[in-house]
Amino acid sequence: MRVVSILLISLIGFFSCTTSEKTRVENLPSATGKPGDMIIIMDSIQWKGELGNQLRKIFKPEVPGLPRDEPLFDVIYVYPRKGYTLLTQIRNLVFVFTLDQNTAGSKIMKETFTEETLQKIKNDTSFFLVTRKDEYSRGQEVMYLFGDTQENLIRHLEKNSRQIQDYFNSVEKRRLLNSLNRTASTKAVTEFLRKENDIELRVPFGFKLADKQNDFVWLRQMDARVDKNVFISWRPYESEYQLLPDSIVYWRDEITRKYLFEDPENPESYLVTELQVPFKPLKASQVNFNKRFAMELRGLWKTNTQTMGGPFISYTFVDQKKQMLYYIEGFCFSPGQDQRETIRELEAILWTFKSADDLTPASKESK
């Protein structure tokens, strides 16, 4: 394990990589593991105690909007050992220690930090977190969590749990977006959206245009394991009340009843928003969606015949240039399968959406 100077790490974001740093990263192996994998390295006594419980609250809460319980991350605990291990190549790593512990595992953790860094942790009780990219492998994100005492670190974790979750959620979304940018979109779909509707969306190869109407576009990718869907709908923007969750749900059900059916031959078998499961409530959040205010919904859908269902995620926002209200959604059907990463993938696709506000004439001509 590399000896870490957190003082240096905390400044690295302010400077471009040196030639030697670039060379170091290029020579590293690629990060391994599945999306959502998380390795936590810390002393076993602390992992089993109050500090470990707080970390589990941060990294293993139930993901909202899924039909069955799935944790935010697949956490694997690792006892600290000297030397390099293959486990340190996992895409997400978290190192945790406090100075008031003198167990064997804590001593190993402290040996990986410089004396200067340990003194800063001891003297500055507000200093508890540092992140680093490409530490042991390319494409890896590493977070260091530390404190002068376990009590102080737990207090920081309680106060900043959402920010820590958001950090790794953003990391996973960025990886998916980078993958989308490297993968050729379905060209015909992309050109149709841009020319006919003045919007843009990057979709992986395999998504096909399932339906298009004057106010609606449906993209779909089906295989033996999962049915992935993205749809976009729009209407004139009239009032801020259109962005309230109840108004959005009402509009969503109008869209799905009109255009999305369990069986296209039977228009009476349409999709609706599931609002009757008390322990799986619809979650609405105000978010900054590509620099504009949006309402995010996470919840469940079902057919009105009660024969199908699954999770969805959506964003509703206004294109000020066109004074148009947009609703974009990703939903899936994959009974018996884990669906956390499918929804995460659909979320990344939705975040590539661009409307007239985003597409300048020059950018349209160059596409």
The values of phi and psi at residue 303, to 5°, are -85, 150
Q: 148-162, 187-201, 319-333: which range is least confident on average?
A: 187-201
Give the pLDDT confidence score for residue 8 in this predicted structure: 47
Helices 150-182, 340-350: axis angle to 10 degrees equals: 60
Q: Is 349 exposed, middle or buried (0-12, 13-18, 19+ CB in 10 A)?
A: buried
Instruction: pLDDT band for 1, please (50, 70, 90 cuts).
Output: low
DSSP states of 215-283: TEEEEEEE-SS-EEEEEEEEEE---GGGGSHHHHHHHHHHHHHHH-EEETTEEEEEEEEE---TTS--E
Name the CATH topology of 186-366.
Protein Transport Mog1p; Chain A (3.40.1000)
> For tokens 């509707």, what's the residue?
197
Beta pairing partners, 284 = 297
CA angle, 277 then 282 then 287, to 5°: 170
Give the pLDDT confidence score for residue 84 in this predicted structure: 57
Instruction: pLDDT band for 185, please (50, 70, 90 cuts).
Output: low
Domain map of the chain by residue range? 6-181, 186-366
Distance of alpha carbon 219 from the chain centroid: 21
Residues 28-84 pLDDT 10s: 888 888 999 999 999 999 999 999 999 999 999 999 999 999 999 999 999 998 765
Structure tokens at 307: 């024969």
Residues 139-173 pLDDT 10s: 999 999 999 999 999 999 999 999 999 999 999 99
Model confidence, pTM: 0.87
